[in-house]
Amino acid sequence: METLLNTVIWDGKTIQELLSLELLLSFFGSILGAMFILFVGFVVGGWVRRRLVGIGGRNKHLDETLFSFLGNVARYIVIAFAVLFVLNTFGIQTTSVVAVIGAAGLAIGLALQGTLSNVAAGVMIVFFRPIKLGDFVEVNGQMGTVKDITLNFIELAAVSNVQIIIPNSQVWGNTIVNYSSYKTRRAEWTFGVGYSANLKRAEQTIRDTIMADPRAKTDPEPFIQVNNLGDFSVDFLVRVWCDSGDYFAFQADMKRQVKEALDAAGIDIPFPTRKVLQVHA
């Protein structure tokens, strides 16, 4: 049979050469088709991700973090379907491939329990949303602004602009203090005056100084009362509400301004003193 194929000539070539050429062209055509399908899968997956992330970013009522997560999941699903379509094109049974992937996934899962716990915690963080992008939080003893939330870790930018990476399992399994959850916060100070000071005048000076600042809120009503009779001073406890974004600057500014106002009013701010007795021999 092979001799017959080699003896039959068609357009200057044997039939066997034509069949080999056709098979070669078919093979390269399949390779190019597979590459095109994968390219389309990556392009469509990226487009779907950008659309979902854009929806979350444009609408203030929607959680940007959740839509970023959904966008990544949708991208991977589109790419996975493209890969399965390519395998079907080459005649590979995808059911057996899925079974092999499942068995491999079980083995990998046992080997990567810590990583998978981070992924599980990441899913919980994304869906229950205890923190969101842009929140100022304290997690696992670290404080900073949330810059990114992935399935494995969260990224914080510290006050000194240092990058902090915390695994999700340590986020979900620990106490989360979110300073950005509520629009307002209560600033608190303790100011001490001397025992000889006019307490009514001191209280009015403190109140006028703090409430003159536009960041101070009148509702809820500020609290300014004598809270403690110390060894050296009469202490006023002051609690005033402000916007969460103004908290740190407002609290720092008022310490200086109240001190200067008390000095201008002639109200003494005492400090501990120690007497040294000299013993003469």
Q: Is pLDDT above 70 for 142?
A: yes
Tell me how many domains the chain contains.
Answer: 3
Tell me if 74 is assigned to some domain.
Answer: yes
Compute CA distances 160 → 41, 248, 252, whole Å: 41, 14, 17
Name 152's Cβ contacts closer than 8 Å, sequence gap at least 6: 115, 118, 119, 122, 167, 168
Mean pLDDT of the chain: 79
For 91, the domain range is 2-111
User: What percentage of the chain exceeds 70 in pLDDT?
Assistant: 73
User: Please, are residues 261 and 207 in contact by the beta-carbon 8 Å criterion?
Assistant: no
Convert the pLDDT of each residue in 10-65 to its tens digit.
444 455 554 565 666 666 666 777 788 888 888 888 888 888 777 766 766 556 66
Q: What is the pLDDT at residue 5?
A: 43
pTM score of the predicted model: 0.56
CATH of the domain at 55: 1.10.287.1260
Q: In this structure, is residue 79 part of a structural domain?
A: yes
Same domain, 95 and 195: no
The verdict on 6 and 107 lying in the same domain is yes
Residue 77 lies in a domain: yes
* Residue 120 is assigned to a structural domain of this protein: no
CATH code (residue 174): 2.30.30.60
